[in-house]
Amino acid sequence: MKAEQNELITRVGPGTPGGQLLRHYWQPVALVDEFDPALDPRMAKRPMKAVRLLGQDLVLFKDEQGCWGLLDRDCPHRGADLAFGRHEGDGVRCPFHGWKFNAHGHCTETPAEPEGSTLCQRVRQRSYPVVEKSGILFAWMGPEGQVPAPFPAFDCFTAPGSHTFAFKGWLDCNWLQALEVGIDPAHASYLHRYFQDESLETSYGKQFRGASAGSDWPMTKVLREFGRPEIHVNPADHGLQLIALRHLDEHLTHVRVTNQVFPQAFVIPLSADITITQWHVPVDDTHCYWYAIFTGFREPLNKAQMREQRLALYTLPDYKPRVGRHNDWGFNAEEQLTETYTGMGQDINVHDQWAVESPGPIQDRTREHLGTSDKGIMAYRRLLIKAIETVQAGGTPPMVLSPEQAAAMQGPSTVDSIAPADAWDAHWRQVDATKRDGAPWRQASETVTA
């Protein structure tokens, strides 16, 4: 890749071509959990925090009516930092001169001005729409006055709160290298290789630690012993569909179906009954968060257990990992010889963290030598560059949907299954249909519709 192309697809600030593209889409800005006093006691008295998104500094708060406000962080009076503002229930007041702004950015008071002044009627702080979806607060950073596109009817958005769980984690790298690890089906056989299989009874909520659908084959065994997947990359309305086949013997094939959802997400199976939809959201050019919605298709999710598992690595209130470049990602040479391929513990999030942070804040793609197993990454980069060029030419990029298109876009399908070698395509589709049709919340929705 040429250096100028790498710049084009990694820079996200205001006015950059890549930033202009990403501002066409809803972006995760915080977890709803970040405003839970049980997890962050500061929120009991002051439900407000500074956030940074797409290279812009913002302040996010919840007012006494339950409305979310997302405002530019610099006060429009003289630029003081509104992250230190007074939360007064119905708005945020700047401590410098007392100017007050509501969740919509309207200036409601300028108390230092003369009696009868109408200055506040002519002042407005830039605000950004915020919606709550499955435990994540999504913001829209597009041009003021433009109507955001609706959300697709994906499973992660249509499942009830009992069957969804949201979490996030910080990464010290550009958003693109964080995304690309998730559309690389080959890496899991190496980066996430465990030398022993653990009990499947303790695999709940742990990726690559359960059994493939309809079998007693541990996913750890499949990945460890079959490291040359046959990868198919198919165009899809939502972006790309990736199918990785691992041929176990002449009768059986392991099928793993995942998706890239344009522009910044992937959808993958956590287990036979839980799917992960994960976004990779630029804080700025050299830092990002991953945000994930876990969607259950059988019993309600045990959110407390899933949160506890993940908080073993991530610290509150900023969801930053306990390991990183500063302590060699917890690397242990003895473990690398006897337990894991990386020597970096059992948590695959650490493995991924090393893989995406170790190339540096922005990976130098001019030094890459891509192989056949990278076909998903190559296909995605072509989509990304084409979309940026479309926006530069004044067009509409992929996945900016009409209401009708959004309502029709469901799924997308994810599968981790052992299939008959001569009928793997029909088999995975049936496994997916059975899983989705059997979801109690889908059945309830269809009954209500009928």
Domain parsing of the chain, residue ranges: 25-140, 155-449
pLDDT of residue 204: 52
* Res. 383 pLDDT band, cuts 50 70 90: very high
| pLDDT exceeds 80 at position 79 | yes
Structure tokens belonging to residue 254:
């392991």
pLDDT of residue 450: 41
DSSP annotation of 95: T
pTM (two decimals): 0.94
**Angstrom distance (rounded) from CA 224 to CA 246:** 11
| pLDDT exceeds 50 at position 449 | no
Structure tokens belonging to residue 90:
């119905």
In tens, the pLDDT along 125-156 reads 999 999 999 999 999 999 988 999 999 999 99
In tens, the pLDDT along 9-33 reads 999 999 999 999 999 999 999 999 9
Does domain 155-449 fall under CATH 3.90.1640.30? My reply is: no
Helix axes 424-437, 440-449, angle to 10 degrees: 70
Q: Give the pLDDT mean for 241-249.
A: 96
Backbone angles phi and psi of 226, in degrees to 5: -135, 85
Are 63 and 90 a contacting pair, CB within 8 Å? yes
- DSSP string for residues in 302-344: -HHHHHHHHTTTEETTTTEES-SGGGGGG--HHHHHHTBSSSS
Q: From the options 1.50.10.20, 3.30.750.24, 1.10.760.10, 2.102.10.10, give the CATH code of 25-140.
A: 2.102.10.10
**Angstrom distance (rounded) from CA 417 to CA 430:** 11
Are 138 and 129 a contacting pair, CB within 8 Å? no
**Angstrom distance (rounded) from CA 27 to CA 277:** 13
Q: Give the pLDDT mean for 358-380.
A: 97
- The strand pairing partners of 277, in sequence order, are 267, 293
Q: Where are the alpha helices (DSSP H) in 131-234?
A: 155-158, 175-180, 188-191, 219-225
Which residue, among 184, 252, 196, has the nearest Cα to 224 in the 3D structure? 196
* Res. 211 pLDDT band, cuts 50 70 90: low
| Contacts by 7-11, CB closer than 8 A, 24 or more apart | 8/385, 8/388, 9/176, 9/381, 9/384, 9/385, 9/388, 10/174, 10/175, 10/176, 10/285, 10/362, 11/285
In tens, the pLDDT along 155-183 reads 999 999 999 999 999 999 999 999 999 99
Q: Give the pLDDT mean for 305-313.
A: 95
| pLDDT exceeds 60 at position 229 | yes
**Angstrom distance (rounded) from CA 183 to CA 376:** 6
| pLDDT exceeds 80 at position 342 | yes
pLDDT of residue 402: 96
pLDDT of residue 214: 67
CA distances from 371 to 13, 231, 304, 345 (A): 31, 12, 41, 28
CA distances from 377 to 33, 231, 239 (A): 32, 12, 12
In tens, the pLDDT along 384-406 reads 999 999 999 999 999 999 999 99
Q: Give the pLDDT mean for 405-428.
A: 96
Average per-residue pLDDT in the chain? Answer: 94
